[in-house]
Amino acid sequence: MRTDTTSVEHADRWVPGLRGRPVTGVGTTPHLVLSLAPGWEVGVEGPALLSHGPVHANPGLPLAPASRDLALRLLGASVLSAVAFKSGALRVVFDTGLHLTCPGESSAWRITGPERWCFTSVPGGGLTVLPGPGSGPGSAPGTAGAR
């Protein structure tokens, strides 16, 4: 699988450079943290669902810190797609068919990466992005879609 290290902004979403990165660690205390190689982390503090396939086809299971066995299903999986929507929602699809979905209105999550990249949901909906150095035009730090 090709690894995409570039984070790209679109009109309604950001695509963090997570494609092809394997999950190398799973932490569940006090909240879910997925460690991805090399140097990226996905942290989820609010409501999230883990489903096999998209949530509209399979409602999935609530993912909480107490769901360690459920979260461990992600260990060793590689990211196929990650989308941080400017509405504050997050969707990460893994090569195992599992989908991690965080709603925009009520979820608290953060993606951090090397070179100071940081994508953070905003309470009530929205997204804050702090791009790494060398990011191009249209990648200015700030809040997108905040209410």
- pLDDT digits over 69-104, tens only? 778 889 999 999 999 999 999 999 999 999 999 988
CB 88 within 8 A of CB 122: yes
CA neighbor of 13 nearest in space, from 112, 147, 144, 122: 144
Which pTM value belongs to this model?
0.82
CB 108 within 8 A of CB 46: yes
> In the prediction, which pLDDT does 49 show?
85
> In the prediction, which pLDDT does 57 show?
56
> In the prediction, which pLDDT does 58 show?
58
φ/ψ of 114, rounded to 5, equals: -65, 160
CA of 137: how far to CAs of 82, 87, 140, 141, in Å?
21, 21, 7, 11
Tell me what the pLDDT averaged over the chain comes to.
82
**Start-to-end C-alpha separation, the chain:** 37
